[in-house]
Structure 1
Amino acid sequence: MTTIDTRYDGQLRCHAVHGPSGSELDTDAPTDNQGRGERFSPTDLVATALSTCILTVLGITAERQGWHLEGATARVEKTMTRSGVRRIDLLEVWIQLPADLSAEQRQQLIRAGETCPVKESLEGAVPMRLHWS
């Protein structure tokens, strides 16, 4: 179990502290929802969680196999609903793997990345598209 303590600081901003490490982060509401958009929004963190989870799982897989994954990237685009209940409408992720991987290595990494815990947790609740290259 991990504990994260969060405090509301006013003006639609929050401050969170990761219990195990003491790492801190601040959030701000986005400009399209009454905020200043000067920091990650809570839904930005969901999108960030997806892309970083994919890369982390890829890293775990690569390290187990003795492969180098440095330089792999993920770009995530978050689209919010335009009407009705405000929620994430789509998370689309473009994952770029290092060019020197074999076809077999790429397939193994793709299979691993498709099962990251964040993707598995969001599955069925938030539409997601992953693009691998």
Structure 2
Amino acid sequence: MTAKIIYLAHLRCESEHSDSGTCILSDAPKDNYGQGAAFSPTDLYATSLGQCMLTTIAILGKSKNINIEGACCYITKKMNPSPRKIAEIICELQFTSAGYSDTEKQFIEKTALNCPVALSLHPDIKKTVHFQYGKV
């Protein structure tokens, strides 16, 4: 089992990670009758893309001595109104180092675009990904 999810009330769920016991809350967004006091399920879905990109680059980059410490990813999720679903996820990946070689940049970008979450997204969801180096 990966997680246990409990519906609390008022469009809020608590999810407990099976291995660590770490808990996260999710709320329905304000524009869909929720409190908007926590990530919505679609926020978590979109955010997982950026987390997976950075984590996969860090894992695979380790053997190539590519250090991405301090890198960040800004996520913007755009919803389709009808049917209500994620239409686009925009990822702005920013890396603190401007000193990556062209080969290292190609590795970073290819790895990000082929991380497990990116490969698992429905093809109808538009993925817009920008890479910036030497900026955070």
TM, length-normalised to structure 2: 0.91
What is the total number of aligned residue pairs between the two structures?
131
Q: Per-residue displacement from partner, 1:60-102 (whole Å, max 9, x unpaired)? A: 12212122211111111001112x2110011010111221211
Structure number having the greater strand percentage: 2
Write the mapping of 1:29-48 to structure 2, written as runs, cut at 5 A.
29-48=28-47
Matched, 1:90 2:71: no
Q: Per-residue displacement from partner, 1:93-131 (whole Å, max 9, x unpaired)? A: 011122121121111111111100001000414211111
State whether residues 92 and 130 of structure 2, in contact with CA within 8 Å, keep that contact through their aligned partners in structure 1.
Answer: yes
For residues 15 and 113 of structure 1, the distance between their equivalents in structure 2, rounded to whole angstroms, comes to 29
Q: Which residue of 1 aligns with 2:17?
A: 18
For residues 105 and 33 of structure 1, the distance between their equivalents in structure 2, rounded to whole angstroms, comes to 42
Q: Which residue of 2 aligns with 1:109?
A: 108
Q: Which residue of 1 aligns with 2:118?
A: 119
**Runs of 4+ with deviation above 4 angstroms:** none
State whether residues 93 and 131 of structure 1, in contact with CA within 8 Å, keep that contact through their aligned partners in structure 2.
Answer: yes
User: Which has the larger displacement, 116-125 or 44-53?
Assistant: 116-125
Taking only aligned residues, the RMSD between alpha carbons, in angstroms, comes to 1.1
Identity, % of aligned pairs?
34
State whether residues 61 and 109 of structure 1, in contact with CA within 8 Å, keep that contact through their aligned partners in structure 2.
Answer: no
What SS class does the counterpart of residue 63 from structure 2 fall into? helix
What SS class does the counterpart of residue 123 from structure 2 fall into? coil
Structure 1 unaligned regions, length at least 5: none
Q: Which residue of 2 aligns with 1:6?
A: 5
What SS class does the counterpart of residue 118 from structure 2 fall into? helix
TM, length-normalised to structure 1: 0.93
- Match for 2:105: what amino acid? R
What SS class does the counterpart of residue 57 from structure 2 fall into? helix
For residues 27 and 73 of structure 1, the distance between their equivalents in structure 2, rounded to whole angstroms, comes to 22
Structure 2 unaligned regions, length at least 5: none
